[in-house]
Chain A
Amino acid sequence: MRTVTGWALSVLGVLVAVAGVALMVLLGPDSRISTGPHAIETDDIAVVTSPQVIRWADVQVDVLVEVPVRKPVFVGIGNAVDVQNYVAKVQRLEVTSFSRPWRLRTRAVEGQPNLPGAPTAIDWWIDSSAGLGGASISARLPDETVSIAVLSVGSSNLAGLEVTLAYGVKGGFAKGISALLLGLAALWLGVMVLRSRWADDDWDDGEDDEIDGAGTLEVEEVVYVYVDDDGVEHEITAEEAAELEVVEEVADDAGAAGPSASDEPSVPTVPQVVVPGVPTAAEIAAESARTADPRGDAPPTAEPERVVYVFVDEDGTEHEVGEDELDEFEVVDDDLDDADDPDAKERP
């Protein structure tokens, strides 16, 4: 599963990064593609796009219209229902198709030589602008059918009209950078997932390094110790230890019975280094064990049954006697307390 995820993230990251780079290269630092100015031959009062011409949404469109001799001109973008109603009875040039970078098909529509009302007084334009000699709009195309209208204001017409068009994605260059970074991040994440998977495979193959459930890598460490006359241990380097004599090595036996290495925290292996004439820590520990109370934590041992010899005096009082004194006595009765006790003795 992790392998699939890792590869998926990596491939996705590469694709996103490539898309980001492509976006940056295509749009450039200003995030748009420009074309023009292009002349449109007309002496009508309106140039309007048909509803089917603009088929894109969420595209940033900038339109600059220019007319000579500072004639008043208006440019606006609005829902096609509004624009078509507005110019329905107006003599106009209608743009019926557009293809990049700049190829237009137009048709002339007969009608009245004036607009039904001042375009600047209308409230339904999505974006609009008016000026002397030129005007421009900058709008993001909404997810609805829209038309762009270039209109002459007052008694003039649009003779000498030139149009400059730019389209792109607002903040497109920055979005390209973001996509690139995002793609690289996804790629890095995918590689990390794959590497962790490979590391797990290595551990399963018997390598020393281990990644536990929490993802911690455990490394076995060797510590060299020198024990002085007082039995105090001092850590020494491997080079120093090489000059001394290693007399005993205590190693954690992974093959021993009991908890496995993966279940218990690993214990550093401590090779015992002995200076000649100086007792080792193990010897000191053994001596301490010999002098210690045997009743301590030592496990109970089976002792032979102790026989008690008793002398009973004339008053009937019992006196314990030693085994070496037995020959002074004669066993007269071995059944005082226990008739079957063969060791009961009586003083002669």
Chain B
Amino acid sequence: MRRTVLALVCSLTLSACAVPHARDDVRLDKAAASRAEVDEVLDEYREVRESAVELLDPKPLSTVEQGAVLAIDTGSFEVLQRSATAQKGDDTGRGEVTDVEVPRFAKYPLWFYAVVRDAKLGINRVQVFERTSSVDPWVLTASPETLDKTELPPIRRSQGAALRVPADDGVGMAMSPQKAAQAYAAVLADPKAPGADAIADDSFIQQMRSTAETNAALKDVRFSQAWEAQDVQYALRTSDGGALAFVTLLRTDTYAVDDGLTVTWPEGTPQRAFLSAGISGSGTLTYLHQVLLYLPGGDGPPRALGQYGGVVSGEGDQGAVR
């Protein structure tokens, strides 16, 4: 008797699954992409990237990349073209997708986050794909790289969707993502900047300072370096109440060389590709760095987990290369 009643109840329940019903909640809301769409986007990016590498031509990349990441990749392709070096073994587009986080949005632009592991190079590419409007394609807009051993903080989810953090929201953290980006840029520009103690002295900061000190040590050359943080567009809430923010930093290296002298760089370097004749008088190299900044929950100082960057333009007295 009990089995019969149970079967009857189950039948009624199942038959009620697709019963038309009124929706109380009619707010605008959408997951950025389904998993199938994410796979499709990643596959298309991989194909275009491979075509660009094969042709040594950055133009196809403009259909799948945008913003700082396109500028950095275009710069690296120009370096390869000018140095006539084939980009053998470049498999930036390949890799195993180890994590995908899709937030929900009430309006465009939409974006999602994917972690692609490159076992060959021992790195993880933490990529952000964005769709600016309903008629635009999905494009890669950020791709900082972390070492394979670097553990990424888990992302907090709600109802299956990753939670975003507004750039100016510093609740539960030492500061908001936007303020962290600005403080980070300030510390890179000047180690003694106000609030420098609020930023962790991570390996990226140390590497940039070392490079700047090397350039500043050139005899009869006055070297200066400036850093500027762009607006933070992507930040996800981590499970500890912190945030994982994608920060784009603009770096400007300026050289003032005494009369009669020329600063040159070794063959095959990006600087050489952009300033082939070197710098006589004065010159500027512009870099873009995409930094994956982790703001721990609580009072912990922000620190960089990874970065992706390169030369995007160069100008000198002997004529602008780009």
Contact = CB atoms under 8 A, between A and B. Distances in A.
Interface in A126-173: 143-145, 169
B4 to A, nearest CB: 6
A82 B12 contact: no
A101 to B, nearest CB: 17
Interface residues of B, number: 25
Interface stretch (A175-183, A225-233, A321-329): A175-183
A55 interface: yes
Nearest to B24: A55
Given A5-B5, A56-B22, A182 B30 contact: no
Given A52-B26, A80-B28, A86-B135, A178 B20 contact: no
A245 to B, nearest CB: 52
Contacts of A80: 28
Contacts of B30: 79, 81-82, 144
A124 interface: yes
A9 interface: yes
Among all A-B residue pairs, the 10 with the closest Cβ atoms = A117-B135, A81-B30, A85-B134, A86-B134, A59-B20, A58-B20, A85-B108, A79-B30, A82-B134, A116-B135
Contact of A179 (B15, B108, B135): B15
A154 to B, nearest CB: 17
B148 to A, nearest CB: 34
Contacts of A169: 18-20
Interface string B8-47: 1001100100111111001111100000000000000000
B8 to A, nearest CB: 6
25 contacts: A5-B1, A9-B5, A51-B27, A51-B28, A55-B23, A55-B26, A81-B30, A81-B108, A82-B134, A84-B28, A85-B134, A86-B135, A116-B133, A116-B134, A116-B135, A122-B134, A122-B135, A143-B23, A144-B29, A169-B18, A169-B20, A182-B15, A186-B8, A189-B4, A193-B1
Contacts of A47: none
A241 to B, nearest CB: 44
Contacts of B20: 56-59, 169
B52 interface: no
A80 B4 CA distance: 44
A194 interface: no
B107 A81 contact: yes
A85 B15 contact: no
B23 A56 contact: yes
B105 interface: yes
B161 to A, nearest CB: 13
B106 interface: yes
Interface of A: 2, 5, 9, 16, 51-52, 55-59, 79-86, 116-117, 122, 124, 143-145, 169, 175, 178-179, 182, 185-186, 189, 193
Given A57-B21, A189-B8, 7 more contacts: A2-B1, A9-B8, A56-B20, A79-B30, A85-B108, A116-B135, A169-B19
A189 B28 CA distance: 47
Contacts of B5: 5, 9
B28 A58 contact: no
A5 B2 CA distance: 10
A52 B108 CA distance: 19
A52 B29 CA distance: 12
B12 A182 contact: yes
Given A5-B5, A56-B21, A81 B106 contact: yes
